[in-house]
Structure 1
Amino acid sequence: MKNIAPSITRKRLLIEGYYSREIGEHEVEEFLTSIASKLSLKFYGSPIVHVPESLGKEENQGFDAFLPLIDSGISIYVWTKSQFFAIVLFTCKNFSSETAIEFTREYMLASEIVSKDF
């Protein structure tokens, strides 16, 4: 992908995987604030968590959440039936992808995990 705005610092990381711990609204909120703190990313609001129960397809039920950062934000999507998650970190500040991936692996008790920087 061509970098059409080289003067703007951007770091993006996608992490996906299967989790094996209990995940509820509290854990989603805790994950977002904990990963931000672990990566020294400052947030300016509380996590916004949506639980669209009974809306859409049953296999897509779970959580959609966002944490606003001073330098952009972190989103997480959780499919509870499949025990699958997808996380997108988008910042205007550099952070360690390896630290983010390892923290996610440990927090989610991930049995399988993949990631991509872009």
Structure 2
Amino acid sequence: MRNISILVALLLILQSCQTYKTVGVQDIKEGKKYRITLHNGQLFETKCRGVADESIELRINGNLKDLPKSDIDNVKQRKTSPLVVIGGVAVAAVGVFALLNKTDKESILEKTSGN
């Protein structure tokens, strides 16, 4: 039981695989996911559908909207940390391996063979 508690705690710690990196408005690229804050305080988490000289096209609540670049206060690009993903998979694999080593192998074989 103690091993399961440790495993669950580690998985919760490593759960946040995605982070946000601050970028400039001029660095917005089509197809990337962003967290955009406007001057009026509104916050959007969306994927950029297109970039023009003075505006960007975003999908907000299922609708495509053209947002002027001058209205944007802050832009953060969503990134997935490969180290955290690899660490999470490694911890999960070690946890499963540890749990399988602790189980009664005869009872597993009996349950799977149907005898």
TM-score normalised by L of structure 2: 0.25
**More RCO (CA 8 Å, sep 6+):** 1
Question: Which structure: larger Rg?
Answer: 2
